[in-house]
Amino acid sequence: MGRWLAGRLMKELGLVSCQQPTHRYKRGGHEHVAIPNYLERLNRPGNPGD
């Protein structure tokens, strides 16, 4: 029995799958304005004479 037939039969009988949906990770937003990226600031190369 294929999934299409199984789905149609389940629909006719009023059955619902109990499988959990997959986990979706939240998308990262923009950097907060009040908290700048200090590591990026520390890793910038300085002038050669410094």
DSSP letters spanning 6-44: HHHHHHHHT----PPPPP-PPPP-PPPTTS--HHHHHTS
Residues 23-41: pLDDT tens digits? Answer: 888 887 776 667 767 677 6
Task: For residue 50, tell me if it sits in a domain.
Answer: no
Task: Tell me whether residue 47 is in a domain.
Answer: no
**Cβ(31)–Cβ(37) below 8 Å:** yes
Position 29 in a domain: yes
pLDDT at 45 over 80: no
Full residue range of the structural domain in which residue 35 is found: 3-42
Number of structural domains in the chain:
1
Tell me, yes or no, whether 35 lies in a domain.
yes
Looking at residue 1, its pLDDT comes to: 84
Reported confidence tier of residue 50, pLDDT bands at 50, 70, 90: low
Q: Is residue 24 domain-resident?
A: yes
State the pLDDT at residue 47: 67
